[in-house]
Amino acid sequence: MDFNRKHFKARFVFAGSPDFAVPTLSALFDAHENQCLGVFTQPEKPTGRGQTMRATAVHTYVKDRGTRVPLFHPQTPNEFELAIQELRPDIIIVVAYGMLIPKVIVDQYCCINVHPSLLPKYRGATPIQAALLNQDSVSGVSLIHMNERMDAGDVLLTESRPIRVASTAGELHAEYAHLGAHLCLCYLYNRESIVPIPQNNGIATYCKKIQSIDACLKPEHTIKEKLARIQAFSPKPGAYIIQNDKRIKILRAQLMNNALEPLEIQVEGKQKMAYAHYLAGNPPVVI
C-alpha cells in the first residue's frame, strides 16, 4: 500500500529497543514528532565480555536526535502500564520492544506491532532466520493489531518480498526494518479504511530463540541445509565449524561444483575477513 504524507490527529507512543525498531521511530519522528507522547525502551543492560552497561539502539537514537520527547525505561510490565495510563495515547506502536505488553493495555488501547514475517507463519522470536532455514522463496512484514497472545492479533497490512538467493539474515533484517516503517505510516494515514483480518490459528507456525548449538554445521546436514544455516545465522551468532580446535564462523558462502566455498569467515578471537585473505597463510576451511 502506498501513502501520501498527510496530517493525522492521533497522539502516539512508541515502544521498541534494538536497531530493527529505529527506522520506524525515525520515520514517525520525521513526519509527526510533535504527536509522540513518549518513547519506551528497555533499560541499559550489561553486554560483552566486560559486561559494560549499554543503552538500546532506540535510546541512543532518541538522545542523538536531541528531541524533547521523553524516554521511559520501565523495569516491569506494571511500570509500563502505569506510565501508559498517565499518558493515555491514541495509538501504541510496538516494534521489537522486548517486554510483554500487559493485557489491560492491549485491551484498552489501539496497539499495533511490526512483525518480520507473513503471519500466521513464523510467530515468535526469529522469523527471519526461520524463513532462511526453511529455504523459503518469499517472506515479508506484517502489521498487526495486538492482543494478549504472541503475534496472534488481527493482520492490518502485509508486504511481501522475494528472498534473493544469497540473502543473509542481516540483510533481510535491514530491509524489513524499513519495510515495517513504511507499513506503519500506511496504517496511520489510512486506518479508517483498513479492515483487520483475523489470523488462521490452525496454520500458525512458531520459531524459537536461537542457541549457539543451533549454528553448528554438522556432517549430517546436506549442502543446501548448511548454506541455509550460514545465511540464517549471518552475522549473528554465525554458523560455525570446529577446525584445528578453533571455532571458525562461516559468514558467507557459495555453491561451487557441488561443494560449499566460504566467502567470508571469522576465526575465533579475530575479526571477520575475506576467505581469500585467510588462505594467504592458513589451510583451507572444510565445511
Q: What contacts 24+ positions apart, CB below 8 Å, involve 259-265? A: 259/223, 260/223, 260/226, 260/227, 260/230, 260/287, 262/287
pLDDT of residue 1: 57
Mean pLDDT across 162-185: 96
Residue 104 is predicted with a pLDDT of: 96
Q: What is the pLDDT of residue 56?
A: 96
Cβ–Cβ < 8 Å for 200, 120: yes
- Report strand pairing: 36-40 vs 71-72: parallel
Mean pLDDT for 208-232 is 94
Predicted pLDDT of residue 2 = 57
Residue 51 pLDDT more than 80?
A: no
**pLDDT for 55 beyond 80:** yes
Q: What is the mean pLDDT of residues 204-228?
A: 94
Please identify which residue in the block is written with the cell numbers 571469522: 266
Quick one: pLDDT at residue 53? 82
- Reported as a single tens digit per residue, the pLDDT across 17-39 is 999 999 999 999 999 999 999 99
Task: Provide the residue type at 107 as one letter.
Answer: D
More confident residue, 131 or 258: 131
pLDDT per residue as tens digits for the range 113-149 = 999 999 999 999 999 999 999 999 999 999 999 999 9
Proportion of the chain above pLDDT 70, given as a percent: 97
Does 86 have pLDDT greater than 70? yes
Least confident of 41-55, 88-102, 216-230, 234-248: 41-55
User: What is the structure's pLDDT at 3?
Assistant: 57
Q: Tell me, what's the pLDDT at 7?
A: 65
pTM of the model: 0.92
